[in-house]
């Protein structure tokens, strides 16, 4: 059964605490931090994450789309992140970033953009806890799933198997009841979903729906 991580980016920003509670049936909450530099959009930052932290029991899964990233890792952990995911692109010292995240007591994730080959992660397989395949160009919610990312999910799934480590394989972007079973079949164990959950009136049913279609795959 895949882990479902609703992405708060698609929530009603005027009512974040309520929106967060509305997806409390999911074990993780995905929080997208964007800087308008690494990605062409600005979302929210550590003060918002810190303000929400006391009102949720979910694992805070923070996806940093910022460059540089290292100067903000400590602040992200202090704001209440349980997992910190950084991008492999634009970071010559990715290994150090992952070491720093672990030293801060968080699970260490690496996100990989659509144009980056899976082999870019071959030298971090001994340290990474979460791999996040971007199935859209990062920066915005509500985009269409990029079919070309399916083979990459399979390759990374095999790399994880070879590593012998319990690495979680996530997919982020365009995940709905049509695409979820396909990415799970390719090896995904974590589904990040924004608009397909927050775009529905009944969020609990939307989360259950994603789990159900994935289990049938
Ligand atoms: C995009 C973000 C995603 C986004 C996904 O850069 O990383 O987490 O919220 O949104 P949907 O599920 O609507 O594609
Ligand atoms: Zn994300």
What digits encode the pLDDT tens for the residues 41-95?
Answer: 999 999 999 999 999 999 999 999 999 999 999 999 999 999 999 999 999 999 9
- Averaged pLDDT for residues 25-36: 98
What digits encode the pLDDT tens for the residues 110-153?
Answer: 999 999 999 999 999 999 999 999 999 999 999 999 999 999 99
What digits encode the pLDDT tens for the residues 193-202?
Answer: 999 999 999 9
Ligand 1 binding pocket includes 180 (Cβ within 6 Å): no
| Distance between Cα 71 and ligand 2 center (Å) | 20
217 pLDDT more than 70: no
Residue 172 annotated in active site: yes
* Per-residue pLDDT at 172: 99
Among the listed residues 35, 129, 172, 176, the single catalytic one is 172
* Per-residue pLDDT at 170: 99
Residue 35 annotated in active site: no
* Per-residue pLDDT at 216: 76
* Per-residue pLDDT at 195: 98
Residues 29, 61 contacting (CB under 8 angstroms): yes
Closest to 114 measured CA to CA, from 91, 143, 93, 73:
143
Ligand 1 binding pocket includes 175 (Cβ within 6 Å): yes
Backbone region of residue 106 per phi and psi (left: phi > 0; alpha: psi in -120 to 50; beta: other values): beta
What digits encode the pLDDT tens for the residues 95-105?
Answer: 999 999 999 99
């Amino acid at each position: 059964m895949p882990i479902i991580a609703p992405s708060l980016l698609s929530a009603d920003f005027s009512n974040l605490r309520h929106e967060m509670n509305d997806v409390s049936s999911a074990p993780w909450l995905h929080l997208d931090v964007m800087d308008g530099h690494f990605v062409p959009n600005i979302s929210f930052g550590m003060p918002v994450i810190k303000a929400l932290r006391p009102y949720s029991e979910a694992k805070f899964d923070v996806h940093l789309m910022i460059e540089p990233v290292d100067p903000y890792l400590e602040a992200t952990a202090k704001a209440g992140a349980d997992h910190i995911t950084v991008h492999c692109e634009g970071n010559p010292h990715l290994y150090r970033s992952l070491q720093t995240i672990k030293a801060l007591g968080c699970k260490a994730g690496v996100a990989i953009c659509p144009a980056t080959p899976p082999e870019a992660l071959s030298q971090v397989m001994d340290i990474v806890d979460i791999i996040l395949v971007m199935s859209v160009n990062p920066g915005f919610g509500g985009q269409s799933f990029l079919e070309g990312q399916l083979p990459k999910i399979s390759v990374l799934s095999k790399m994880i198997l070879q590593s012998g480590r319990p690495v979680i394989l996530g997919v982020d972007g365009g995940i709905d009841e049509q695409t979820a079973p396909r990415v799970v079949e390719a090896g995904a164990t974590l589904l990040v979903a924004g608009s397909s959950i927050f775009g529905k009136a009944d969020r609990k049913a939307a989360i259950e729906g994603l789990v159900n279609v994935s289990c049938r795959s």
